Structure 1
Amino acid sequence: MSSKDTPKKQRSEAEIREARLKQALKANLARRKAQSRGRRADDMPDGAGAAQNDDSMSGKDSEQEG
Protein backbone atom coordinates (compact mmCIF):
# COMPACT_ATOMS: atom_id res chain seq x y z
CA MET A 1 0.00 0.00 0.00
CA SER A 2 1.44 3.38 -0.96
CA SER A 3 0.97 6.60 0.94
CA LYS A 4 -1.43 7.86 -1.74
CA ASP A 5 -3.83 5.03 -1.03
CA THR A 6 -4.11 5.66 2.71
CA PRO A 7 -6.99 7.84 3.82
CA LYS A 8 -6.32 11.15 5.49
CA LYS A 9 -6.44 11.41 9.26
CA GLN A 10 -9.94 10.66 10.44
CA ARG A 11 -11.67 13.40 12.37
CA SER A 12 -12.74 12.78 15.93
CA GLU A 13 -16.37 12.86 17.01
CA ALA A 14 -15.82 16.26 18.61
CA GLU A 15 -14.36 17.69 15.41
CA ILE A 16 -17.24 16.31 13.35
CA ARG A 17 -19.77 17.75 15.79
CA GLU A 18 -18.01 21.12 15.84
CA ALA A 19 -17.95 21.29 12.03
CA ARG A 20 -21.64 20.35 11.86
CA LEU A 21 -22.60 22.99 14.43
CA LYS A 22 -20.47 25.60 12.70
CA GLN A 23 -22.22 24.88 9.40
CA ALA A 24 -25.66 25.01 11.05
CA LEU A 25 -24.84 28.31 12.76
CA LYS A 26 -23.66 29.82 9.48
CA ALA A 27 -26.86 28.70 7.70
CA ASN A 28 -29.01 30.02 10.56
CA LEU A 29 -27.29 33.41 10.47
CA ALA A 30 -27.73 33.66 6.70
CA ARG A 31 -31.42 32.77 7.05
CA ARG A 32 -31.93 35.36 9.79
CA LYS A 33 -30.19 38.06 7.74
CA ALA A 34 -32.37 37.29 4.73
CA GLN A 35 -35.46 37.36 6.94
CA SER A 36 -34.43 40.72 8.38
CA ARG A 37 -33.82 42.16 4.92
CA GLY A 38 -37.25 40.96 3.86
CA ARG A 39 -38.92 42.56 6.84
CA ARG A 40 -37.11 45.84 6.21
CA ALA A 41 -38.20 45.79 2.58
CA ASP A 42 -41.82 45.21 3.65
CA ASP A 43 -41.72 48.05 6.20
CA MET A 44 -40.03 50.58 3.94
CA PRO A 45 -41.16 50.09 0.32
CA ASP A 46 -39.42 53.24 -0.95
CA GLY A 47 -36.08 52.34 0.65
CA ALA A 48 -35.68 55.79 2.21
CA GLY A 49 -36.44 54.56 5.72
CA ALA A 50 -33.29 52.46 5.97
CA ALA A 51 -31.08 55.53 6.52
CA GLN A 52 -33.48 56.90 9.12
CA ASN A 53 -33.41 53.62 11.06
CA ASP A 54 -29.61 53.60 11.05
CA ASP A 55 -29.49 57.10 12.58
CA SER A 56 -32.05 56.31 15.25
CA MET A 57 -30.25 53.10 16.22
CA SER A 58 -26.86 54.81 16.59
CA GLY A 59 -27.67 56.10 20.06
CA LYS A 60 -27.30 59.74 19.04
CA ASP A 61 -30.11 62.02 20.08
CA SER A 62 -30.43 65.45 18.49
CA GLU A 63 -31.97 66.89 21.66
CA GLN A 64 -28.90 66.00 23.76
CA GLU A 65 -26.40 67.70 21.42
CA GLY A 66 -27.44 71.27 22.47
Structure 2
Amino acid sequence: MWFDYFHAQFDALAADLGVVLDASGCREGWLQGELFRRSPDQDFAVNTYPYTDIAAKPTLRGFGPA
Protein backbone atom coordinates (compact mmCIF):
# COMPACT_ATOMS: atom_id res chain seq x y z
CA MET A 1 0.00 0.00 0.00
CA TRP A 2 2.75 2.48 0.91
CA PHE A 3 4.73 1.51 -2.16
CA ASP A 4 1.80 2.38 -4.42
CA TYR A 5 1.33 5.73 -2.67
CA PHE A 6 5.01 6.68 -2.94
CA HIS A 7 5.22 5.49 -6.52
CA ALA A 8 2.25 7.67 -7.47
CA GLN A 9 3.74 10.68 -5.66
CA PHE A 10 7.13 10.28 -7.30
CA ASP A 11 5.41 10.07 -10.68
CA ALA A 12 3.46 13.26 -9.92
CA LEU A 13 6.63 15.05 -8.76
CA ALA A 14 8.89 13.73 -11.54
CA ALA A 15 9.41 17.00 -13.43
CA ASP A 16 10.06 19.05 -10.28
CA LEU A 17 12.19 16.31 -8.75
CA GLY A 18 14.43 16.37 -11.80
CA VAL A 19 15.19 20.03 -11.11
CA VAL A 20 15.54 19.74 -7.32
CA LEU A 21 18.04 16.87 -7.57
CA ASP A 22 20.62 19.50 -8.57
CA ALA A 23 19.93 21.58 -5.44
CA SER A 24 22.56 20.48 -2.96
CA GLY A 25 21.55 20.51 0.69
CA CYS A 26 17.78 20.75 0.31
CA ARG A 27 16.66 17.76 -1.74
CA GLU A 28 15.56 15.57 1.15
CA GLY A 29 13.75 18.40 2.93
CA TRP A 30 11.96 19.43 -0.24
CA LEU A 31 10.81 15.87 -0.93
CA GLN A 32 9.66 15.38 2.66
CA GLY A 33 7.72 18.65 2.49
CA GLU A 34 6.04 17.68 -0.77
CA LEU A 35 5.06 14.25 0.54
CA PHE A 36 3.76 15.86 3.75
CA ARG A 37 1.80 18.46 1.82
CA ARG A 38 0.20 15.88 -0.48
CA SER A 39 -0.61 13.19 2.11
CA PRO A 40 -4.26 12.65 2.99
CA ASP A 41 -3.10 10.81 6.17
CA GLN A 42 -3.58 13.16 9.13
CA ASP A 43 -1.00 11.11 11.04
CA PHE A 44 1.67 11.52 8.36
CA ALA A 45 4.70 13.28 9.80
CA VAL A 46 8.26 14.06 8.79
CA ASN A 47 11.38 14.22 10.98
CA THR A 48 9.46 13.26 14.10
CA TYR A 49 10.92 12.94 17.57
CA PRO A 50 12.94 9.83 18.49
CA TYR A 51 10.91 6.67 18.92
CA THR A 52 13.52 4.04 19.79
CA ASP A 53 16.05 3.43 22.52
CA ILE A 54 18.86 4.33 20.12
CA ALA A 55 17.37 7.80 19.49
CA ALA A 56 16.75 7.12 15.82
CA LYS A 57 13.96 9.13 14.28
CA PRO A 58 11.90 8.23 11.25
CA THR A 59 12.16 10.44 8.23
CA LEU A 60 8.54 9.73 7.34
CA ARG A 61 5.78 8.32 9.52
CA GLY A 62 2.07 7.63 9.09
CA PHE A 63 -0.59 4.97 9.43
CA GLY A 64 -1.24 4.56 5.74
CA PRO A 65 -2.23 6.45 2.65
CA ALA A 66 -5.99 6.77 2.84
Whether TM exceeds 0.5 here: the answer is no
User: Which has the larger share of helix?
Assistant: 1
User: Which has the larger share of strand?
Assistant: 2
Q: Which has the higher contact order (CA 8 A, sep 6+)?
A: 2
TM-score (norm 1): 0.28
The higher radius of gyration belongs to: 1
